Amino acid sequence: MTAKIDTQAAFEPETIDPNAVKQELIAKYPTKVARKRTKQIVINKVGEDFTVPEVGANVRTIPGIITQRGCSYAGCKGVVLGPTRDFVNLTHGPIGCGFYSWLTRRNQTKPPTAEEANFMPYCFSTDLQDNDIVFGGEKKLRAAIQEAYDIFKPKAISIFATCPVGLIGDDVHNVAKEMKEKLGINIFAFSCEGYKGVSQSAGHHIANNGIFKHVVGLDDTPGEGKYRINLLGEYNIGGDGFEIERFLQKCGITTVATFSGNSTYDQFATAHNADLNTVMCHRSINYVAEMMDKKFGIPWIKINFIGAGSSAKSLRKIARYFEDPELTDRVEEVIAEEMVEVEKVKADVRARCEGKLAMLFVGGSRAHHYQDLFAEMGMKTISAGYEFAHRDDYEGRRVLPGIKLDSDSRTIEELDVHPDPDRYRPRKSAEQVEELAAKGFTFRDYEGMMAQMPEGTLVIDDISQYETERMIEIYKPAIFCAGIKEKYAIQKKGIPMKQLHSYDSGGPYAGFKGAINFYREIDRMVNSKVWSYLKAPWQTNPELAATYACE
Ligand code: CFM
C-alpha cells in the first residue's frame, strides 16, 4: 500500500502523483471492491490517434457504496419524456416516484400562447397503495387514464411503470392499448421500472425506443425553413434551450424538433422531416439518432452548445453540412456579433480564475461539455467522471464494437430498424458524404471525454461519496461540480459546489449568453471563501460530550 498523501503540506496540484492518488482511493476498500473500483478509476493518457485507456463503465454500483446514480424510471420519465409539455406523463406507482421527478430538474417550457396545453405544472400519478400492490393496479391505471383524458383532453398519454408495478406484473402495455382504442388518442407505456439496468441510462434507452416506436414519423406534414435540423439531447435545463433557439433562429436555422427540451408531441411526430440530426447529449439520445438515420436517412453529427467556443464550432459544423455559402456567412456574422460581449467578460474573469482547479462529476455528458467552459475561463479540470455513461462516452464511439453486452444491458430491447419503404431519403449522397469526410467532416461520431483531457488527470466513473471526500482533501479544488446529493457534504468541506444538473437556481449556461452567465457565476463562487469560513460545531469544539437520556 502506498503511503498516505500528505494533504496538509503545501503543494502544487500538478506535482501530485495520480498513481498515488488512485492507490489511496482504493486502499480503504476490501479486496473484491478494490478490484472493481480500480477499473473505474483511470489515469488519463492520450496516445497516438487519440487512443485512451479503457474505463470500467455502465456496470453495477457495488452495494454499500454511496453512488450519485439515479434509476431507470428517472432516466425515462424524468429525463427524456419529462420536458415535453403536452403529453400527460402518468406515473403508475407510489406517489413518491411521481413527486420527486416533478420539475426538480428545472426543465423549462414556454407555450407560445396561453391556450396551448402545458401539463408540466401537474404531477400525474396513480398513487398506488398497499391494497393495489396486493390485488393489482391495472384497474386504478385505467381509471387514472380516463380521468386525465376527461379533464385535459391531451394528444397523448404516456405511462411509466415503477419498481412495484414491475414486481407485481401489471400489464401496462395492454392497458395502454385498450385505452388507446377506447379514447382514440395516442397512449403508450414504458416498462422503465427503476431496477432495470444499472442506472438511469437504461431508462434513456427505453424512452428512446418508445418515442421512436409510438410517435416519431406519425405526421408527414412538411414544415418550413431552409436549414432544418433536430436538436437531440437538449433538455432546456435552466432555459438553455431558449438561448440555443435564440441564436439558431438568428442564423436562419430551423429546429423541427428538440428531444426534448420545450418540446411538444407534434415536434416528435414530424421530426423525420428534418435534414440533419444534431446530437448534444450523446448518452441519453444516441439511440433515436441512429434509428432515424436507418429508417429515414437523416445523418447525425455530434455538436456541443456548452461553451462559447464550442457553440461557435458547432454552428460552423452545421453550416458546413448544408454547404451553402449564404448560411456560412450568416453563421460567421452571428458568431462575430455574439463573441464581442463573451470576450469582454471572459478577459475579466480570467484575471481572477486562471489556473484554478475544477472537478466535475455529473451524469453522462456534462462532465465533458463543461470542461470547455472552464477552459475558456483559464481553469483546469483536474478530475472528471460520469455517473452512468458508457465506455463510448469516455473513450469514443470507436470502442463500440468491442463492448460486450452484459446481462443488465440485455434486459433493454434493441429495436430492429429498417429503411422505411416510402420515406427513406438519404439526405446526402454517398459522394457528398465522401467529399465532406475527405475535408475532415465527421458524421455519426463522438470522440468521448478522455481524448480532450490532459494526461495525468483522473477519470473516475460512478464516483463514491468516500472518493469524493478524499479527492477534495487531496487536491483542494477551487470548485466541485456535481448534484444535489453531493452538494452539502462538499460545502461542509469548505469547497464551493455548483450543481451542474439543475444549475442551482441559475442558468442558462448554454450558448453565448449562457457562457457569460457561467463565467460570472463561477468567478463569484471560486473567489469568495464563504464556505471555508464556516466551521461545523465539532470542528470548533471537538470535545463535545453527550450523555444518554436515561442517565
Ligand atoms: Fe444527458 Fe442531461 Fe447529462 Fe442525462 Fe441527467 Fe441532466 Fe445530467 Mo442530471 S440527459 S446525460 S440523465 S446531459 S438529468 S439534462 S444533468 S444527469 S449530465
Cα of 532 vs its chain's centroid, Å:
30
User: For a pocket test of ligand 1, which of 201, 205, 281 has the largest count of ligand atoms closer than 8 A to its C-beta?
Assistant: 281
Q: Which residue's CA is minimally distant from atom 10 of ligand 1?
A: 364
Q: Which residue's CA is minimally distant from atom 1 of ligand 1?
A: 281
Distance 484 CA to ligand 1 centre (A): 13
Atom of ligand 1 lying closest to residue 483 CA = 8
SS3 13: helix
Active site residue 76: no
> Which of 37, 57, 69, 71 is labelled catalytic?
71
Burial class (CB in 10 A: 0-12, 13-18, 19+), 311: buried
Q: Which residue's CA is minimally distant from atom 15 of ligand 1?
A: 501
Active site residue 481: no
> Which of 37, 57, 69, 74 is labelled catalytic?
74
Atom of ligand 1 lying closest to residue 500 CA = 15
Atom of ligand 1 lying closest to residue 105 CA = 13
Q: Are 495 and 531 in contact (CB under 8 A)?
A: yes
> Which of 106, 204, 366, 390 is labelled catalytic?
204
State the pTM of this model.
0.95
Distance 313 CA to ligand 1 centre (A): 22
Distance 211 CA to ligand 1 centre (A): 18
Q: Are 159 and 190 in contact (CB under 8 A)?
A: yes
Ligand 1 — pocket residues by CB below 6 A?
75, 79, 105, 200, 233, 235, 237, 281, 283-284, 362-366, 501
Atom of ligand 1 lying closest to residue 80 CA = 9
Distance 392 CA to ligand 1 centre (A): 16
What DSSP string describes 304-327?
A: --BSHHHHHHHHHHHHHHHT-HHH
Active site residue 281: no
User: For a pocket test of ligand 1, which of 68, 71, 73, 79 has the largest count of ligand atoms closer than 8 A to its C-beta?
Assistant: 79
Atom of ligand 1 lying closest to residue 200 CA = 11
Dihedral angle sign, alpha carbons of residues 205, 207, 210, 212: negative
What DSSP string describes 382-444?
A: EEEE-SS--HHHHH-GGGGGGPPP-HHHHTS--------TTT---SS-HHHHHHHHHTT---S
The span from the CA of 523 to the CA of 526, in Å, is 6
The span from the CA of 141 to the CA of 143, in Å, is 5
Distance 282 CA to ligand 1 centre (A): 10
The span from the CA of 232 to the CA of 236, in Å, is 11
Distance between first and last Cα of the chain = 44
Atom of ligand 1 lying closest to residue 389 CA = 10
User: Tens place of pLDDT for every residue, the chain, 551 residues?
Assistant: 444 555 444 456 778 999 999 999 999 999 999 999 999 999 999 999 899 999 999 999 999 999 999 999 999 999 999 999 999 999 999 999 999 999 899 999 999 999 999 999 999 999 999 999 999 999 999 999 999 999 999 999 999 999 999 999 999 999 999 999 999 999 999 999 999 999 999 999 999 999 999 999 999 999 999 999 999 999 999 999 999 999 999 999 999 999 999 999 999 999 999 999 999 999 999 999 999 999 999 999 999 999 999 999 999 999 999 999 999 999 999 999 999 999 999 999 999 999 999 999 999 999 999 999 999 999 999 999 999 999 999 999 999 999 998 999 999 999 999 999 999 999 999 999 999 999 999 999 999 999 999 999 999 999 999 999 999 999 999 999 999 999 999 998 999 999 999 999 999 999 999 999 999 999 999 999 888 888 877 778 877 677 877 76
Distance 364 CA to ligand 1 centre (A): 6
The span from the CA of 406 to the CA of 254, in Å, is 40
Q: Does an H or E element contain 497, and which?
A: strand 497-499
Active site residue 85: no
φ/ψ (deg, to 5) at 230: -105, 145
